[in-house]
Amino acid sequence: MKNKTWHSLLDNIYKPGRYLGKEINSLRKDFKKAKIKFALAFPDLYEIGMSHLGLQILYYLLNKEDDVLAERVYMPDLDFIKRLKETDTLLFSLESREPLHKFDLVGFSLQYELSYTNVLAMLELSKIPVYAKDRINNEPLIIAGGPCVSNPEPMADFFDLFCIGEGEELIIELAKAYRENRALEKKALLWKLAQIEGIYVPSLYKTVKNKKEVYVIPKDKDTPPKIKKCLVKDLNNVPYPTSQLIPLIETVHNRAVLEIERGCTGGCRFCHSGMIGRPRRRKSIETIVRLAQKIIEETGYREISLLSLNVVDFQGAINLLEILVNIFKERKIAISFPSLRVSKQVLELAKISSIIKKSGITIAPEAGTDRLRKIINKRITTEEIINLVHGIFEMGYNLIKLYFMIGLPLENDEDIMGIVKLVRALRKGKSKRKVIKVSISSFIPKPHTPFQWESQDKIYEIKRKQRLLIENMREKGIELSWHSAEQSTLEAALARGDRRIATVIKKAYEAGCIFDSWSDRFNFKIWEDSFKEEGLDLSNYASRKINIRSRLPWDHLDMKVNKKFLIKEYLRAKQEKETSDCYKGQCLSCEAC
Amino acid sequence: MINNNTSVKTKDTLYRARFKYAKLQDMKYLSQLDITRIIKQILFLVKAPVVIKEGFNPQLKISFGRALPLGIKSICEYFDLFLYQESDLDKMIKDMNKKFPSGLKILKGQYISLKEESIFSSMNTGIFKVAVVLNKDFELVEAKIKNLMINQAKINFTTKNKEKEILLATILRSIDIKNRGKNQAIISLVLKDIIDPKKILAFLNEDIKISNIRCLEFLNT
């Protein structure tokens, strides 16, 4: 891109740093010489995408291959979209500033359903036809991965293929297969790629609809009826990016990230990440310590976040933390964690990490009463939560963040008021001066979880419960935040959607919907109308209760956890029975291992 | 150079170094906050013997000059860095420049007295060169510029969300224009306090189009 064009693109644009690339540790290969050109696309703003670990892992792994070039592209903001259109400039990658149609593959990371319209925006800004069936003139293969592809059906018409499961080994195998078969015409190429375990090519399947069910079957007998998710067996043996990208502008997280474990056997019945992430695998302490030192050496970050769905139950967590604190304390490099499961271990972890810095502590009680926690299989009591939080405050922490969920199955108003009572109990006595941040999300039934058959509360009911909490938690020292009921409803509809929703997504996009995850840009009415115009009911997708004997639109995807196990857990929830963590005791035959 | 950054209390700071750096090419699109963040991170990356202040959120002992508005290149940016031991500044500069994104470069560094006046206070006047394309005759534009200082002109100036009217002469030390031919010219401004030159040149909006702004130096006046 010529200098003059470049500067005229960026002048008077808000946060032009988003579009520069040139981050410290970014990789720039010769675009013309690369045999396979891969664009990694994140369908949200740069500040959000740069904080996402998965994209960095793939970026690093693909660029390690001699003949592969991987570059990044993020969703531009509204002012830059306008500028691109006014100047007739195509959306471009950050590294070489080449338009996306010059790449061989464009891989989208689908982290949340409310980013779907942004995918269409990015394709349109690249002048790439949004529907897969319309891409017949050597356009790049449009592919996707990420947690949302555990049910990719609402987006199936837009993508050539999906990578189901973990990407590290799968993406390299895909690149290799593409290299060997790229000369084939598209249909034959996709057929070849579909032979790789973990690759789902939606054009080889069709939707079947009867009165009660909507599900997916292969178009012909040679196509496998189920696609198994791809899994990295040994996290110690897969390369991990230590030269992490250092953004030039401020992003959501400004710290090093080190994944220590994948998958969770805690068994919370609403939890999508926990279920689709199984089986549980961890890095060894030696690997973690070695990587932590290398990451700090290569980035200069002042904080390292240890990623795991359940740090507290990581075997050797205390020992690991003691080793890391010992290494980093002189240099004042802080160690932080994502939200923690309630356990006495949290106090020990907080005590050790506070030697360097008291980073924020977040715990997730999720429900307000012991009864509801049993239903969702969160094996903690109100008394344990209170003791833990008081213990944290006594250590000198002045702020704690709590996550709760409303609209859970079998919930009643007593459970809602249970949240109020619990939070008030946490602020008694010496803790009166402390600040508690309470974040309330709405339950969203997600595929491949024991609650996938359950209904979501209707919007008016979510709002009623939110009002109950707001009215009863207007106190100094309590900071309450909550998610939009309308956004949660749309998320539920898309999460449990089928292939018919593709036209709804396209309609909503054409009517102006993008950045749906941003509350100030979200327009629920357009979505409702788009569903109606296609003869579908948004509310029904979110709130319908599904018969456990019905086939589901995502049944053709094998995420390792057996459906019988999910049904068993669902029925146990109705009986208010807990299930133990199989990591500590008996195998529960979920068949993930 | 010692490999570990050691936390040292402020009173034990031993050395102070002043660095001059350039912010060119695409780096003009980064804010002062962004630039300071990058510099701090690179200092840790090259394991400079920096002083980290004590406290709940330990910070580097470093100070920067006045913030230029976004969109302006500069070859005269400064920061003062406090070190707990004497180091080879040339090597430190070389190591840092290897890591910086292109467009950001440290030009020189030297040790100064611990008691030296802060950069922020001492570097209060900026010399700017603005490359423009002329929409009107050069003589017309030149006359307008000459009249500006004579006429006690005022400008509206927004600072911290408050708009106020100030005499141009209080902030504009001098202004002149040189013809470069082919409808191009260079306007030189000397401004007290760091204000976006575009605001000063707003009265010429119909007569010129700004193509580049560069800050050449900061002075203590």
B140: CATH: 3.30.70.3190
Of B44, B70, B100, the CB nearest to A300: B44
A332 in B contact zone (CB under 8 Å) = yes
| Partner-chain contact B26 A22, CB within 8 Å | yes
* Structural domain of B201: 124-219
Q: How many domains does chain B have?
A: 2
Return the residue of A nearest to B40 by Cα.
Answer: A300
User: What pLDDT score does B166 carry?
Assistant: 78
- A69 φ/ψ sector (left φ>0, alpha ψ -120 to 50, else beta): beta
DSSP class of residue A321 equals: H
Handedness of CA A173, A178, A184, A187 (dihedral sign): positive
Same domain, B211 and B174: yes
Asked, for residue B27, whether it belongs to a domain, the answer is yes
Domain boundary assignment for chain A:
3-228, 234-244+253-357
B117, B135: one domain: no
The pLDDT value given to residue B152? 65
Chain B environment of A16 (Cβ under 8 Å): 29, 70
pLDDT on residue A430? 67
Banded model confidence at residue B4, pLDDT cuts 50, 70, 90: very low
Cα–Cα distance between A81 and A75 in angstroms, integer?
9
Task: Quote the CA–CA distance of B198 and A284 in Å, as a whole number.
Answer: 57
Q: Both tokens of residue A564?
A: 């019988």
Q: Which residue in B has a C-alpha nearest to residue A296's C-alpha?
A: B45
Q: Is the peptide bond before A43 cis (omega within 30 degrees of 0)?
A: no
- Is A399 touching B (CB cutoff 8 A)? no
Domain stop point among B74, B90, B121? B121
pLDDT higher than threshold 80 for residue B153: no
- The answer to whether residue B134 sits within a structural domain is yes
What's the pLDDT at B13? 62
Which residues of chain A lie closer than 8 angstroms to B4, CB-CB?
330-331
pLDDT band per the 50, 70, 90 thresholds, residue B159: low
The verdict on residue B3 lying in a domain is: no
Backbone CA torsion sign across A259, A265, A267, A273: positive
Nearest CB partner across the interface for B99, out of A24, A248, A254 = A24
Q: Is a pLDDT exceeding 80 seen at residue B95?
A: yes
Task: Please say whether the beta carbons of B129 and B53 come within 8 A.
Answer: no
Q: Do B188 and B92 reside in the same domain of the chain?
A: no
Helix (H, G, I), strand (E, B) or coil at B103: coil
CB contact under 8 A, B29 and A300: no
Distance between CA A404 and CA A422 in Å, rounded?
A: 11
Q: What is the 3-state secondary structure (H, E, C) of A480-503?
A: EEECCHHHHHHHHHHHCCCCCHHH
Beta-carbon separation of B26 and A358 below 8 A: no
Question: Which residues are within 8 A (CB) of A218 and not within 5 positions of it... i.e. 6 or more apart?
Answer: A204, A205, A206, A224, A225
Q: How confident is the prediction along chain A (593 residues), in pLDDT tens digits per residue?
A: 777 688 889 989 999 999 999 999 999 999 999 999 999 999 999 999 999 999 999 999 999 999 999 999 999 999 999 999 999 999 999 999 999 999 999 999 999 999 999 999 999 999 999 999 999 888 999 999 999 999 999 999 999 999 999 999 999 999 999 999 999 999 999 999 999 999 999 999 999 998 888 999 999 999 999 999 999 999 999 999 999 999 999 999 889 999 999 999 989 999 999 999 999 999 999 999 999 999 999 999 999 999 998 888 888 899 999 999 999 988 889 998 887 888 888 888 888 888 888 777 899 999 999 999 999 999 999 999 999 999 999 888 888 999 999 999 999 999 999 999 999 999 887 677 789 999 999 999 999 999 999 999 999 999 999 999 999 999 889 999 999 999 999 999 999 999 999 999 999 999 999 999 999 999 999 999 999 999 999 999 999 999 999 999 999 999 999 999 999 999 999 999 999 888 877 888 888 88
**Would B78 be classed as within a structural domain?**
yes
B117 and B16 in a common domain: yes
Residue numbers in A near B103 (CB within 8 A): 22
Chain B residues within an 8 Å CB radius of A332: 5, 7, 52, 58
Closest residue in chain B to residue A300, using alpha carbons only: B45
CATH of domain A234-244+253-357: 3.30.750.210
Q: Could you tell me if B160 and B208 lie in one domain?
A: yes
Tell me which of B76, B102, B121 is where a domain ends. Answer: B121
Q: Are residues B130 and B115 in the same domain?
A: no
Residue A344 neighbours by CB under 8 Å, 6+ apart: A388
C-beta atoms of A20 and B29 within 8 A:
yes
Are A3-228 and A234-244+253-357 equal in CATH topology?
no
Give φ, ψ of B164 to 5 degrees: -140, 160
The CA distance from A399 to the nearest CA of chain B, in Å, is 14
Asked if residue B68 belongs to a domain, the reply is: yes
- Cβ of B34 within 8 Å of Cβ of A250? The answer is yes
Size of interface A-B (CB pairs under 8 A): 63
Of A11, A17, A332, the CB nearest to B30: A17
Q: B42: which chain A residues are within 8 Å (Cβ-Cβ)?
A: 24, 300
Classify the C-alpha dihedral A465-A467-A472-A478 as positive or negative: positive
Residue among A22, A357, A358 whose CB faces B101 most closely: A22
For the residues of A252-319, what is the DSSP string, one character each? S--SEEEE-EE---S--TT-HHHHHTPSPEE--HHHHHHHHHHHHHHH--SEEEEE-TTGGGSTTHHH
B1 assigned to some structural domain: no
Provide the greatest CA pair distance for chain B: 61
Q: Is B72 inside any structural domain?
A: yes
| Per-residue pLDDT reduced to its tens digit, B39-91 | 999 999 999 999 887 776 778 899 998 888 888 999 999 999 999 999 999 99
For residue A456, how far is the Cα from the chain centroid?
Answer: 20
Inter-chain CB proximity B34 and A16 less than 8 Å: no
Distance CA A316, CA A322 (A): 10
Residue A170, token pair as written in the block = 């799968």
8 Å CB contact of A17 and B43:
no
State the pLDDT at residue B29.
Answer: 95
Question: Which of A46, A41, A280 is CA-nearest to residue A142?
Answer: A41
Tell me which residue in A16, A250, A301 faces B29 most closely, judged by beta carbons.
Answer: A16
- Residue to mutate among A248, A301, A326, A399, with most B CBs inside 10 A, is A248
CA of A202: how far to CAs of A155, A222, A325, A491, A556, in Å?
Answer: 10, 14, 48, 22, 11
Spatial strand order of the sheet with A399-406 comes to A361-366, A399-406, A435-442, A478-482
Chain A residues inside the 8 Å CB shell of B55: none
> Both ends of chain A: CA-CA distance in Å?
50
Nearest CA-CA distance, residue A454 and chain B, Å: 45
β A161-163/B154-159 pair status: unpaired
Nearest-neighbour CA in chain A from B123: distance (Å): 26
Among the listed residues A433, A431, A358, A342, the one whose alpha carbon sits nearest the alpha carbon of residue A397:
A358
**Is any Cβ of chain A less than 8 angstroms from the Cβ of B31?**
yes
Flag whether B2 is in a domain.
no
For helices A285-299 and A317-328, give the axis angle rounded to 10 degrees: 30
What is the least distance, in Å, from the CA of A302 to any CA of chain B? 8
Q: Are A81 and A121 in contact (CB under 8 A)?
A: yes
Q: Which residues pair with B162 in a beta bridge?
A: B159
Q: Which of B95, B121, B147 is the last residue of a domain?
A: B121
In this structure, is the dihedral angle defined by the CA atoms of residues A52, A55, A61 and A63, taken in order, positive or negative? negative
- The pLDDT-based confidence of B3 (bands split at 50, 70, 90) is very low
In this prediction, residue A369 carries a pLDDT of 97
Best CA proximity match to B65, nearest among B6, B5, B23: B23
> A11 CB near a chain B CB, below 8 Å?
yes
CB atoms within 10 A of CB A558: 19
Nearest C-alpha of chain B: how many angstroms from A546?
Answer: 50
CATH code of the domain containing B112: 3.30.70.2510
* Shared domain check, B157 and B98: no
Report chain A residues whose CB lies below 8 A from the CB of B34: 17, 248-250
Q: Are strands A105-109 and A68-74 parallel, antiparallel or unpaired?
A: unpaired
Chain A CA closest to residue B56: A357
Alpha carbon distances (Å) from B130 to A3, A147, B152: 18, 51, 22
- Note whether B129 and B205 are same-domain residues: yes
pLDDT value for B145: 87
Would you say the C-alpha torsion B161, A252, A164, A484 has a positive or negative sign?
Answer: negative
Superfamily of the domain at A3-228: Cobalamin-binding domain (3.40.50.280)
List CB contacts (< 8 A) between B23 and chain A: none
CA A212/CA B46 separation, integer angstroms: 64
Token digits for B91? Answer: 């090597």
In terms of Cα–Cα distance, which of B33, B130, B26, B34 is closest to A10? B26
Beta bridge partners of B21: B77, B106
CA A177 to chain centre: 27
Residue B2 has pLDDT above 50, yes or no: no
ipTM for this prediction: 0.89
Q: What distance in Å separates the CA atoms of residue B218 and residue A307, rounded to the nearest whole number?
A: 46
